[in-house]
Amino acid sequence: MPGVALIVLRCFPVFAVLTLLATPARAEWMSGAQLNEACSAKAPVDRAMCLSYVIGVLDGFRSMERPPKVPDDVSAGQVRDVVATYLASHDEAQTLQGRMVVKAAIADAWPDIQPKVAPPPKRKAPAKTTRKTRRRS
C-alpha cells in the first residue's frame, strides 16, 4: 500500500494543473456579431474557430429535412470566406444567431442548389350537407 500512496502523491500535482488548465464548455449559441469578430480576425486561432463553427453548423444542419447545400467542389475554407463576406456586407446579420447567419450566407451564395420549400397541402373544403336540422325552442 505505501507504493500506491506514493503514486497518488506524485500524480496529484499533475492532476491539479490539468484541472486548472481545463476551459469550461459553452452551451450557448454564437451571435452574428461574435461570428463576425472571429471570421474577420487576423489571428489564426480566431479564423480556425470561425471555420470550426461554420463546419459544425453545416454538420448540424444535415439532420434537417432540407439542409442547406454547398457545391461538392467547395472547400471548408471557401465556405468560411462566404460567411465572412456575407457578415461584412449584411449589417443586420450581426443580431442573428450564428447558425442562421451561416444558413443565410450559403443560401445567398448558392441559391440555385438550395432545396425548395414545398407548398403547403391544399385543404379540402368541408362537404356541404343537405340534411336539415330542427331547431329546438
- Find the CATH number of the domain harbouring 61: 1.10.890
- Specify if 6 maps to a domain: no
The model carries a pTM of: 0.66
- Specify if 91 maps to a domain: yes
- Specify if 18 maps to a domain: no
Cα distance between residue 85 and residue 25, in whole Å: 28
Query: Which residue range forms the structural domain that includes residue 101?
Result: 32-113
The total of structural domains in the chain comes to 1
> Counting Cβ atoms within 10 Å, is residue 110 exposed (0-12), middle (13-18) or buried (19+)?
middle
- Specify if 95 maps to a domain: yes
Place of cell 414545398: 118
- Specify if 103 maps to a domain: yes
pLDDT (tens digit, 0 to 9) for every residue of the chain, 137 residues total? 566 666 666 766 666 665 666 555 554 579 999 999 999 999 999 999 999 999 999 999 988 888 999 999 999 999 999 999 999 999 999 999 999 999 999 999 999 999 887 777 887 777 676 666 666 66
- Specify if 17 maps to a domain: no
